[in-house]
C-alpha cells in the first residue's frame, strides 16, 4: 500500500494484500487460538525470535495484525496494537509508561473509567495525577516534576467538548522530553491526527467511530516502534487484554466507511447545534465546530471538522434532564458514541458518576449537562425527536 494514497483509499486497502490470501477480497478471519509448528525446532526458533511466524493468538494473529497495520497507517504511526477494549489500551499504555511514585499530568476532564484507573494507580502505586486545563504553557510547565512520566489528554474532552491545543502541549513536553498521550476516540484519525502535530502516543476506544456500528468493544494504540514493541511484550502480552480475531474483522469492515460516516456525523451535528441554540429549554451548547465556540480557533488548527458529539445544558436540574431523556421516541438512551444510531446520555449520573461530585463540578459536568452522539439518521428526524422532548420540558415548567 503506497503511503501517498488518500485517507479514503487507505481505510479500504492498507494493511492487506489479497495476493497473500488466495485472492480473498476481504481480510480472512483467522479464528484460531494457536498456530501449529512444522517441527519442534521451528517452535524453538519462533520462541527465540529467530524466525518470523505466528505462535499463539495472544501474541499475534493475522486478522488482528491487518487491523493494526491499517490503523498505524491511518494515524501516521510506525506501528499499532489492538486491544479487547479502549480501557485495555489505556491501562496497558499507562502501566507501561509509569512506575511506583511517578507523576502524571492529565487534562481537566477525562473519560470516567480512565479517571477510575488513575485513582487506582494512585492508591496502589502512589502514582499521582494532577489535572490541568492546559490553556497556557505556563500552567502546564508549573506542574512538571522530575518524576512526571507522561502528559495524558483528551481533546475534545469528554463530555464538556473543550479542546486542548496539541501544539502548545507538545512544545512544553519536548522541552522536558515527556511523552504526550492523546485519547483520540472522539475524532478518529479522519478528523484529527495528533502524531502529525508531534504527540507521541495515540489511543482509541475503537468501540466508537472506528467500529461505528455498535457491535464491538475494542481499543487501539499507535506510536513509535520501540514503544509499541515494549507494550506488545509486557503490558499487552502479560496482562492480556487482547482483541479477538472476529472483533478485528468487524473493525476492518467498519473502518472502510469511516470517512463517509464521519462526514455525515459532522453534517448532522452542525444542523442539530444550530437548532439547539435557538430552543428556549436549552442553555449553553458545546460544539467545537461552532464558530461562536471559544475553542473554534483550536478546532481549525488541529481538527478537520467539529465531529459528531454535542453537549448542552438544559435549563433545569437532574430531574428535568431525566424527564427530557424519557420523552425521546427513537433516539436511544445509551452510553457509548459514534454509532449509526443517535445516542443520548446524562454524564453526571452515567459515564461520569464514578467521578466525585466536587471534581465533577470542577470539570464542568453539571446535572443539567446532556451529551448527544449524533447518528447517521436524517437530521430532520433527529431534531424532530429532540424538539418534541425539549418542548415538553418547557411546557412542564
Ligand atoms: C469509551 C471511551 C473509552 C473507553 O473505551 P472502551 O472501549 O469502552 O473500553 C475511553 N476513552 C473515551 C474518550 C471513550 O469515549
User: What are 315-360's pLDDT values in tens digits?
Assistant: 999 999 999 999 999 999 999 999 999 999 999 999 999 888 998 8
Q: What is the pLDDT of residues 366-385, one digit of tens each?
A: 999 999 999 999 999 999 99
For a pocket test of ligand 1, which of 83, 109, 115, 158 has the largest count of ligand atoms closer than 8 A to its C-beta?
A: 158
Domain regions of the chain by residue span: 7-30+61-255, 259-395
Q: What cell was used for 174? A: 519536548
Going along the chain, which residue ranges are E strands? 79-83, 103-107, 128-132, 148-154, 180-183, 201-205, 219-223, 282-286, 309-314, 332-333, 343-345, 369-373
The set of residues, in sequence order, having a beta carbon less than 8 Å from that of 313 and lying 6+ positions away, is 282, 283, 284, 285, 366, 368, 369, 370
Residue 371 CB–ligand 1 contact under 6 Å: no
- Decide if pLDDT at 396 tops 90: no
Cβ(182) – ligand 1 distance below 6 Å: no
Question: Any idea which fold 7-30+61-255 has?
Answer: 3.40.640
Once rounded to an integer, what is the mean pLDDT over residues 91-101? 98
Ligand 1 center to residue 152 CA distance, Å? 14
- Would the CB of 16 count as within 6 Å of ligand 1? no
In the CATH scheme, what architecture does the domain 259-395 have?
Alpha-Beta Complex (3.90)
pTM, two decimal places: 0.96
The closest residue, in CA terms, to atom 1 on ligand 1 is: 205
- Pick the residue whose CA is nearest to atom 11 on ligand 1: 111
For residues 266 and 395, the model is more confident at: 266
Distance between CA 298 and CA 132 in Å, rounded?
Answer: 17
Q: For the chain, first and last CA: distance in Å?
A: 60
Lowest-pLDDT range of 107-116, 190-199, 273-282: 107-116
Residue 394 has pLDDT above 90, yes or no: no
The per-residue pLDDT for range 211-264, each reduced to its tens digit, is 999 999 999 999 999 999 999 999 999 999 999 999 999 999 999 999 999 999
373 lines ligand 1 (CB under 6 A): no
Amino acid at each position: 500500500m503506497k503511503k501517498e494514497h488518500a485517507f479514503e483509499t487507505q481505510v479500504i486497502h492498507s494493511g492487506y494484500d489479497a495476493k497473500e490470501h488466495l485472492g480473498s477480497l476481504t481480510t480472512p478471519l483467522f479464528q484460531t487460538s494457536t498456530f501449529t509448528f512444522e517441527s519442534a525446532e521451528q517452535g524453538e526458533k519462533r520462541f527465540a525470535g529467530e524466525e518470523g511466524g505466528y505462535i499463539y493468538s495472544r501474541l499475534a494473529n493475522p486478522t488482528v495484525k491487518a487491523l493494526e497495520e491499517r490503523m498505524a497507517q491511518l494515524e501516521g504511526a510506525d506501528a499499532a496494537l489492538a486491544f479487547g477494549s479502549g480501557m485495555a489500551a489505556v491501562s496497558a499504555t499507562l502501566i507501561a509508561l509509569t512506575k511506583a511514585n511517578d507523576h502524571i499530568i492529565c487534562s481537566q476532564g477525562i473519560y470516567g473509567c480512565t479517571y477510575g484507573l488513575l485513582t487506582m494507580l494512585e492508591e496502589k502505586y502512589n502514582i499521582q495525577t494532577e489535572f490541568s486545563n492546559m490553556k497556557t504553557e505556563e500552567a502546564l510547565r508549573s506542574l512538571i516534576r522530575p518524576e512526571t512520566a507522561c502528559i495524558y489528554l483528551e481533546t475534545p474532552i469528554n463530555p464538556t467538548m473543550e479542546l486542548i491545543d496539541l501544539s502548545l502541549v507538545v512544545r512544553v513536553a519536548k522541552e522536558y522530553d515527556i511523552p504526550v498521550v492523546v485519547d483520540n476516540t472522539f475524532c478518529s484519525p479522519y478528523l484529527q491526527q495528533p502524531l502529525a502535530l508531534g504527540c507521541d502516543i495515540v489511543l482509541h476506544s475503537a468501540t466508537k467511530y472506528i467500529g461505528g456500528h455498535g457491535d464491538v468493544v475494542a481499543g487501539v494504540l499507535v506510536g513509535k516502534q520501540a514503544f509499541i514493541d515494549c507494550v506488545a511484550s509486557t503490558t499487552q502480552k502479560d496482562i492480556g487484554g487482547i482483541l479477538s480475531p472476529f472483533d478485528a474483522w468487524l473493525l476492518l469492515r467498519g473502518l472502510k466507511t469511516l470517512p463517509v460516516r464521519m462526514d455525515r456525523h459532522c453534517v448532522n451535528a452542525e444542523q442539530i447545534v444550530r437548532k439547539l441554540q435557538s430552543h428556549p429549554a436549552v442553555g449553553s451548547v458545546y460544539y467545537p465546530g461552532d464558530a461562536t465556540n471559544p475553542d473554534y480557533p483550536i478546532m481549525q488548527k488541529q481538527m478537520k471538522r467539529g465531529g459528531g458529539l454535542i453537549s448542552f445544558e438544559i435549563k433545569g436540574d437532574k430531574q428535568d434532564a431525566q424527564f427530557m431523556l424519557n420523552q425521546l421516541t427513537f433516539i436511544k438512551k445509551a452510553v457509548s458514541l459514534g454509532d449509526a444510531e443517535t445516542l443520548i446520555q446524562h454524564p453526571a449520573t452515567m459515564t461520569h458518576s464514578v467521578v466525585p461530585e466536587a471534581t465533577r463540578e470542577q470539570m464542568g459536568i453539571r446535572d443539567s449537562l446532556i451529551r448527544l452522539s449524533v447518528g447517521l439518521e436524517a437530521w430532520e428526524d433527529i431534531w424532530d425527536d429532540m424538539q418534541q422532548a425539549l418542548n415538553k420540558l418547557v411546557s412542564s415548567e
